[in-house]
Amino acid sequence: MIISIGNDHAGPDYKNAIVKHLEEKGHTVINHGTDTFDSVDYPDFGHAVANDVESGKANFGIIICGSGNGIAITANKHQGVRAALCWINEIAALARQHNDANVISIPARYTNIKQAVEMVETFLTTDFEGGRHANRVSKIACQ
């Protein structure tokens, strides 16, 4: 799989651990994130990841900021993106199963790195259930 990842200054350590995990699993990673803790603007990284997912350049996206909210709001401005804010593994699974989310948003200040890596693994290996959820998901995008 090709995974696009982006983060602001709250997430370089998270990004590095996730990228290492993904590459060990044989995935290709497109890295849009910052590598420093110097203040940057999360929309710059959220839009870059969302563009990759929306265009089909990446199969999935991972975005990281302090609360996970701002970067998720940014990514969700893109028509082809369904970014889900996840803080525990069960939420990551449900985001895929019920919402067919294609971007996971991680709140670096409210999870630890081990949790983040586990959520990413769950997110990427969980299938969309379809069925009753498919009709609901089809109503998300603005027409």
Provide the annotated active-site residues.
65, 98
Check the annotation: does 99 bind a ligand. Answer: yes
Measuring CA to CA, which residue among 99, 108, 83 is closest to residue 15? 108
> What is the secondary structure of 8-40 as a DSSP string?
-TT-HHHHHHHHHHHHHTT-EEEE---SS-S--
Separation of alpha carbons 10 and 69, rounded Å: 13
Count other C-beta atoms under 10 Å from residue 66's C-beta: 16
Check the annotation: does 7 bind a ligand. Answer: no
Check the annotation: does 33 bind a ligand. Answer: no
Check the annotation: does 96 bind a ligand. Answer: no
Distance of alpha carbon 134 from the chain centroid: 20
Check the annotation: does 11 bind a ligand. Answer: no
Check the annotation: does 70 bind a ligand. Answer: yes
Check the annotation: does 39 bind a ligand. Answer: no
Known binding-site residues for D-ribulose 5-phosphate equal: 8-9, 66-70, 99, 109, 132, 136
Known binding-site residues equal: 8-9, 66-70, 99, 109, 132, 136
